[in-house]
Each structure stands twice: as C-alpha cells, then as structure tokens.
Amino acid sequence: MTPKRQRHLQALDLGAALALTAVYIGFARPNTDDGQPVFEGPFWLGCLIAVAVGLPIAVRRRWPLAVLAVVLTALATASLLDITREPYAAAGLAAYLVGLAEPARRSVPALAVTLTLACGAVYLGEAVVTPADDGRGAFGVAGLVALVIGGAWGAGFTVRGRRDEAARKQRRRSERALDEERLRIARELHDIVSHNLSLIAVTAGVAGHVAEADPREARAALKVIEETSRSALAEMRRTLGVLRTEGAPLGPVPDLDGLESLAAEAHRAGVDVDLRVHAVEGLAEGTRLTVYRIVQEAITNVVRHAAPTRCRVTVEADAREVRIDIVDEGPPSVPRQTARQLPGGHGLLGMRERAMMYDGSFEAGPRPEGGFAVSVRLPAEGNRRP
C-alpha cells in the first residue's frame, strides 16, 4: 500500500471515529426522548463511554484486536446503561479489520467472543436490566447486532483471502519469471562456453598434430586459440557483470550480421561453412538473436563432432515462416552407413527450447547419406518488426 493511500485510509478512520463519538455523546444526553429507556447517569460518564466507543476506531488498522476489545467493552456497557441506540456500528468497523488483518487462528476466536458478549449485552439490556420489549424483540435486536458484526468480519475475511490468493499468484509469477530468466542465462552461458571451448579444443588438437611437421601452422593454431580465449573471457565477464551488478552495461546483442564471423571461426577449426542468408532484414530483434544462437550451437556441434568437414547453413524468411537448416557431411573417417547418433549435452535441448519459445518446430538427426542435419521452423507471425 502506498503511503498516500495509507494516509487517506487513516483520515477516513479518524472521521468515522469522531462521528461515532459525537453520536454516542448525543445518545448520552438525559433529554433523549424516543420512547426507549434513557441513560440516567452523570453526563461525564456518558461522554467517557462515547469516547471509548468511537475514538479507538481511529487506530483500528494499527491494533485491530485491541481496538475490538475496547470498543466491545464500551458498547456492552452502553447497552446495559441504555445508551446504545444503533446496531453496534463501531464493533462492525473493528471486526472488519480483525477479519482483514488477523490470521484465522486469532480472528475466528475473536469473532466468537465478540458475538457472544455483544448479543448477551444487548439481550440483557433490552429484556432484563430495563425491559423495553419482550424476549422475542430482544432476540431480534441481538440478531441484528450479530448480523452487523458477523457481516463486517466476513467481508474483511473475504478480502483477506482474495489478497492472499493474489499474493500467491504474484509469487508464482515471480518464481516462474525467475526460472525463465535462470534458464535464459544458462542457455546464454552454454552458447558462449560451448562454442568457444569447442573451437579451442579442435584447434589445439590441430596444433598438437602439426607441431613437429609444420611449426608455422602450429603457431597459427595457437594464435587462433589465444584470440578465441580472449573473446570467450570477454563475453563471460560481460555476462557475469550483468548478473552481479544491477544496471551493469550490456554488451552488444549478437545479430545475424555475426554469422559470417561464426563461419570464419568454424573454418579455422576445420569446418568449411557454406553460409546462405536470405530475406531476414525485417525480423524482430529477439528472433534474430534466436536464429543466431541456433546457428551458433549447430555449428559448434559440427566442429565438436565432425571436423574437418563441410557444412551448409541456410537461413531464409518469407511471409509464412523463418527456415533454419544446418547440414554437414560428417567426419571423413566415418563411413556413411554409420552416421553419428544424436550428440549429448544440452546443445540440442537449448535449440529445441529456443524454437518452442516462438511456437516453432525443431528436428535434428543423422542423415541416411552421412552427416547430421538440424532443421528449425519459426512462424513469421509475431517475429517481424512492426
């Protein structure tokens, strides 16, 4: 609740408290003439009871149970002294806050005690102390008081239940958002680490293989490893910096313009990439990032499992869908009839999750003629810039 709204509600409570106090001071005047028994005690006592009935309502939001106890005691006394001429409105206002602010283990017993004392005091005042009606009439007045107090408490209890349910839904939404954000960060870190470490591992293997026969080629491979390592560290620092520091500057979001760089990196790791990109200019930023990450992970799998080989990457978009196809020929040492199985790890799962985020389709598996194929389809609707 905002401070402004809280001050507004407190002002309303103060107004109600003053109004109830004034009403009960009027009830306590000896010249009251409405055909009912009148208060015959000193006026100062009537004013004291009026203050005890009304003024506590001003602080009912701070001490609900205490206010209900004070108001109930004052009203019961007023009923026995023939002051009360209304159905316990102050007790209803106090009971509403008890039902709203207190848990059921306290508010339910408080309601039971309040109804018992209030109805007992009304009945005694109406039918025993100074009889103004028969027993049936006294029961009717007591029932009206019970209806006012119980209805007010029930309204507060209902509002409390709705607020609790809204808070639970908000917590579930927050937890869901947190899980989605955790999953998104995990995918980003996986893409960064997996891609760069795969290039490093493959290039290191090349360097070790040609170190003695061709030192110049080995030095070139080590240079690639150095550049890839620095790039990976920079991306990791950027990502972790965003996680550690609120408001940390974000690095540039990968875009389809970076596919050429992916192809060049894969070429240095022994994969000759044939890249074809058509009609993607109007895609939304989120879709472009998704396409980039899918292509990155697919190329990483090719480098990890099939290098040296050839790979064809096709990214096309039209009015109906965005098509992403990555096909490789497989490692030259593996016969076509023994095409590799689905690679392990989280790469394919991450690609599938990215496709599902856009209600797209994902297929991946070995090709009968050898190699491996990844096919992703994203619907064009909602994935283009407005």
Q: Taking 70 as the threshold, does the pLDDT of residue 245 lie above it?
A: no
Angle CA(79)–CA(81)–CA(83) in degrees, nearest 5? 65
Range with the lowest mean pLDDT among 92-101, 148-157, 275-284?
A: 275-284
Range of lowest pLDDT (47-61, 92-106, 170-184, 308-322): 170-184
Residue 326 is predicted with a pLDDT of 95
- The pair of structure tokens assigned to 245 is 């520091």
Mean pLDDT, the chain, whole residue set: 84
For residue 72, pLDDT over 80 is answered with yes
When mean pLDDT is compared across 82-91, 188-197, 242-251, 329-338, the lowest value belongs to 242-251
**β strands within the chain, DSSP E:** 271-278, 309-317, 321-328, 361-366, 372-379
Q: How many CB atoms lie within 10 A of CB 39?
A: 19
Element holding 3 (H helix, E strand): helix 3-27
Query: What contacts 302, CB < 8 A, 6 or more positions away?
Result: 266, 271, 309, 311, 326, 328, 372
Is the model's pLDDT at 59 over the cut of 90?
A: yes
Angle between helices 285-306 and 347-357 (to 10 degrees): 160
At residue 334, does pLDDT exceed 70?
Answer: no
Q: What is the mean pLDDT of residues 110-132?
A: 88
Secondary structure of residue 275 in the 3-state scheme: strand
Tell me the whole-structure pTM to 2 decimals.
0.54
List the single range of 15-29, 89-103, 195-209, 311-325 with lowest mean pLDDT: 195-209
Q: Would the pLDDT of 359 be above 80?
A: yes
Q: Are 49 and 77 in contact (CB under 8 A)?
A: yes
Instruction: With a cut of 70, say whether residue 280 has pLDDT above it.
Output: yes
For residue 375, name the pLDDT band (cuts at 50, 70, 90): very high
* CA distances from residue 307 to 122, 156, 226, 295, 301 in whole angstroms, order as listed: 92, 69, 20, 16, 9
Any residues with CB less than 8 A from the CB of 309 and at least 6 apart, and which?
Answer: 270, 271, 272, 302, 328, 329, 330, 331, 332, 371
C-alpha 130: how far from its chain's center? 60
CB 307 within 8 A of CB 270: yes
Can you say how many angstroms the Cα of residue 216 is from the centroid of all Cα atoms in its chain?
56
What is the full DSSP assignment across 308-372?
SEEEEEEEEE-SSEEEEEEEE---TTS-GGG------SSHHHHHHHHHHHTT-EEEEEE-TTSSE
pLDDT at 103: 92
180-239 confidence digits (pLDDT tens): 777 777 777 777 676 677 778 777 877 787 787 888 888 887 887 887 787 777 777 666
| Residue-range domains of the chain with CATH | 3-172 (no CATH), 255-386 (3.30.565.10)
Please give the pLDDT value at position 350.
81
237, containing H or E segment: helix 215-244
The closest of 212, 315, 323, 223 to 263, measured between CA atoms, is 315
